[in-house]
A and B are shown apart, each in its own frame.
Chain A
């Protein structure tokens, strides 16, 4: 391998590229805004263990889950009894019990038998006068509550993962809380994370009956005096935020035939005016339900309700099955985040942020400072040792080593890897292997010199013969690293990520960078001896 222009140019390009990728790490927020469009604008991210981050304690209203469970029992009974033409007189819920009133003893008896076959396992069923009561068993209540928390945790995990933040920590804490720690989040990220986590993202589709600028006008248009009267007609009042001043309130069907649960995907798009919007698509059953809903209501307006507010209400032109679009007054970021929360699913129960603070590094600030200093001491010792032991070649190795560090850091920042202690362990291993690689090559050159070869021939033979030694050692480790990355989680992944990037960069700096620098020094000269 000669020090050809091509190789020198390659090394220069990689160096400049690494420095460019690292600019945000050194300059912080002072990088210009157009930077983010071309390059990653975040620099190297440090993990919770090294830098700390934000800490959010989220309270989960798991009792709401029990309420929903009772509602679904009521709905089930209603549906079942409808087939037998039995009407429910009324119902009420409190804590973990549901009471349904009937008009006659015969109805009650029939209902009791339906209840016994379906809900005996999960609740104590009792009758009193003309009412049937379901009292959920304690174990079942606990189960429902736990499931609600697990679901919330899953949804939050999906959402945070989609934000592209590596290695956040999300865990259950106590009976009805979730603890979220996100590493090194900036002020800008912080608000976004909170917004995304809190978002219920309940998406519903309803048919619009009337609209108006105020509550009174919209009710008057239907000839009702108050919102309660709407309920009897299976309708409800919903605030709207579609951007139209004369449509601040809507009346629409109380039931939603199709909800966000049937979505198969959602993404950012732009409407015909170039404004940000969110397009969504349905899967299987959801698509056919949506088809029925739109087919039956052609010419009517379809309300797209997000978290209790109507975002848009387009007129249905034709039967729609697979695709739809939510337009509204979004910025691009808002639309992107909305698509994200829709994709990751709705929170099954409401959540509330109970505590929010920034936390220090979990390894302890002092530990990190001490670790940093000792690493620097170790690094300097190795650099001095190499220069002392191998003279000029040692200096070449040192330059290659420092460039190697630069490349690794640059690529870590390009891939958005969050650096944690395990990641640093991976880095220590690679740099150790880099020094080892240099030693292997230099010892080989010395051996070749001893056989009487000329300096240039010895360099050639030394690099040539050690090439596969260095490659085999690095490839074996790389294979392990890739497998660890693929199958490992959390810290194992972090270790494997830096190790993989590190090995590739190390092979490049051992085999190419050090070689080219050496050739630049000795090539084309009649050298009597090499400094090694």
Chain B
């Protein structure tokens, strides 16, 4: 079975320049949102504190939930909708200063009371109660960032050995591009940045690198075979030769992610959201950032 007519050639290279502006715009929006929201909306794993996940029988506004909870004497820091609107799932968060460990049991009893008596809370249930001591998460994030930077250096070295420096830089730039934009998407949607999202982000990085290398490999092969063509033609040829694969792989990736996004439940929902954004951006950047950078690097070297 053929997806595209053999010999189909789309002119990607001419669209690389406008694409760069799209990417720059996306990065500015992403960073802008991160600044506006004062960094990611860190989950309880990172800030420390108490997090209570409840599921109600019907839709109740965040303001109503906040107001009702204030009667317990423990006004929550944040009340947040989880998952899709129809799930009626909410996250209640307290900072460690607001509710001490010893008081969680009291609050839980109060909350159970409310669920039993309050009209809009009736039929609800407490899904989980999590207490996280402070200072656990900061260390984790610090180490994660160091690990990712070292990972990038590893990629840089391997790709430089197997390909050449321009490819290596292109792959890492695309990876950083994908990470920033995905982080921006999480920030714009005001999703809670949990450990699950850290895992999703790492997956996005892996996906991005894999996708880039596949296209690079074909460009490299073309360079060896037909050295007479210009770098622009070689890259365009490579992207087109792998186009069927890019489309088919994307189809299978979305076959897995879309059910997760729709039916996955609140926690998995955000996880799948991150992966979907990352997969789209990762596929796009392999062509329009990583490959475009290879052209830029070669032409710059050629002219100098």
Does A422 belong to the interface (CB within 8 Å)? yes
Given A473-B210, A483-B147, A371–B55 Cβ distance below 8 Å? no
Residues of B contacting A422 in the complex (Cβ-Cβ under 8 angstroms): 195-196, 198-199, 202
B144 near A488 (CB under 8 angstroms)? yes
Residues of A contacting B253 in the complex (Cβ-Cβ under 8 angstroms): 432
Query: How far apart are the CA atoms of A530 and B242 in the complex, in Å?
Result: 21
Does B205 belong to the interface (CB within 8 Å)? yes
Q: Which of B53, B139, B213, B218 has the most CB of A within 10 A?
A: B213
Number of residues on chain A facing chain B (CB within 8 A) = 72
Q: Which of A428, A450, A473, A492 contacts B147 (CB 8 A)?
A: A492
B128 near A374 (CB under 8 angstroms)? no
User: Which parts of A228-257 form the interface with B (CB within 8 Å)?
Assistant: none
Q: Which of A360, A368, A369, A483 has the most CB of B within 10 A?
A: A483
Does A303 belong to the interface (CB within 8 Å)? no
Q: Which of A436, A469, A480 contacts B249 (CB 8 A)?
A: A436
Q: Which residue of B lies closest to A171 (CB)?
A: B133
Q: Which residue of B lies closest to A390 (CB)?
A: B1
Does A208 belong to the interface (CB within 8 Å)? no
Does A429 belong to the interface (CB within 8 Å)? yes
Taking the closest CB of chain A, its distance from the CB of B61, in whole angstroms, is 22
Q: Which residue of A lies closest to B213 (CB)?
A: A473
Query: How far apart are the CA atoms of A84 and B139 in the complex, in Å?
Result: 50
Does A472 belong to the interface (CB within 8 Å)? yes
A370 near B151 (CB under 8 angstroms)? no
Taking the closest CB of chain A, its distance from the CB of B146, in whole angstroms, is 6
A440 near B206 (CB under 8 angstroms)? no
Does B217 belong to the interface (CB within 8 Å)? yes
User: Which parts of A358-378 form the interface with B (CB within 8 Å)?
Assistant: 360-371, 373-375, 377-378
Given A381-B255, A382-B252, A425-B200, A171–B144 Cβ distance below 8 Å? no
Number of residues on chain B facing chain A (CB within 8 A) = 72
A385 near B196 (CB under 8 angstroms)? no
Q: Which of B154, B158, B221, B262 contacts A374 (CB 8 A)?
A: B262
Residues of A contacting B209 in the complex (Cβ-Cβ under 8 angstroms): 473, 476-477, 480
Query: How far apart are the CA atoms of A447 and B6 in the complex, in Å?
Result: 8
Q: Which of A480, A484, A487 has the most CB of B within 10 A?
A: A480
Does A439 belong to the interface (CB within 8 Å)? yes
Does B36 belong to the interface (CB within 8 Å)? no
Q: Which of B195, B200, B206, B256 contacts A480 (CB 8 A)?
A: B206
Q: Which of B143, B203, B216 contacts A426 (CB 8 A)?
A: B203
Residues of A contacting B102 in the complex (Cβ-Cβ under 8 angstroms): 174
Q: Which of A361, A377, A490 contacts B263 (CB 8 A)?
A: A377
Q: Which residue of B lies closest to A479 (CB)?
A: B154
Does A172 belong to the interface (CB within 8 Å)? yes
Query: How far apart are the CA atoms of A67 and B250 in the complex, in Å?
Result: 65
Q: Which residue of A lies closest to B218 (CB)?
A: A469
Residues of B contacting A330 in the complex (Cβ-Cβ under 8 angstroms): none
Query: How far apart are the CA atoms of A238 and B140 in the complex, in Å?
Result: 46
Taking the closest CB of chain A, its distance from the CB of B211, in whole angstroms, is 8
Given A366-B55, A370-B265, A422-B195, A499–B206 Cβ distance below 8 Å? yes
B195 near A382 (CB under 8 angstroms)? no
Chain A binding surface SS class: helix
Does A265 belong to the interface (CB within 8 Å)? no
User: Which parts of A439-469 form the interface with B (CB within 8 Å)?
Assistant: 439-440, 443, 446-447, 450, 465, 468-469
Residues 244-279 of B, flagged 1 when their CB comes within 8 A of A and 0 if not, give 110011011101111110111111100100010000
B202 near A492 (CB under 8 angstroms)? yes
Residues of B contacting A481 in the complex (Cβ-Cβ under 8 angstroms): 206
Q: Which of A171, A367, A475 has the most CB of B within 10 A?
A: A367
B100 near A174 (CB under 8 angstroms)? yes
Residues of B contacting A487 in the complex (Cβ-Cβ under 8 angstroms): 143, 146-147, 150
Does B132 belong to the interface (CB within 8 Å)? yes
Does A140 belong to the interface (CB within 8 Å)? no
Given A363-B267, A390-B1, A439-B248, A382–B207 Cβ distance below 8 Å? no
Does A495 belong to the interface (CB within 8 Å)? yes
B260 near A378 (CB under 8 angstroms)? yes
A495 near B202 (CB under 8 angstroms)? yes
Residues 158-188 of A, flagged 1 when their CB comes within 8 A of B and 0 if not, give 0000000000000111100101000000000
Does A421 belong to the interface (CB within 8 Å)? yes
Residues 1-38 of B, flagged 1 when their CB comes within 8 A of A and 0 if not, give 11000100000000000000000000000000000000
Given A366-B55, A381-B255, A495-B199, A477–B206 Cβ distance below 8 Å? yes
B interface residues (Cβ-Cβ under 8 A, vs A): 1-2, 6, 53, 55, 100-102, 127-128, 130-133, 136, 139-140, 143-144, 146-148, 150-151, 154-155, 158-159, 162, 171, 195-196, 198-200, 202-203, 205-207, 209-210, 213-214, 216-218, 221, 241-242, 244-245, 248-249, 251-253, 255-260, 262-268, 271, 275
**What are some 11 contacts across the A-B interface (CB < 8 A)?**
A173-B101, A364-B53, A366-B127, A425-B199, A425-B200, A447-B241, A450-B6, A479-B154, A483-B147, A488-B147, A492-B143
Q: Give 5 A-B pairs besides A468-B217, A480-B154, A495-B202 with Cβ atoms closer than 8 angstroms.
A: A367-B266, A378-B256, A421-B267, A472-B216, A472-B217
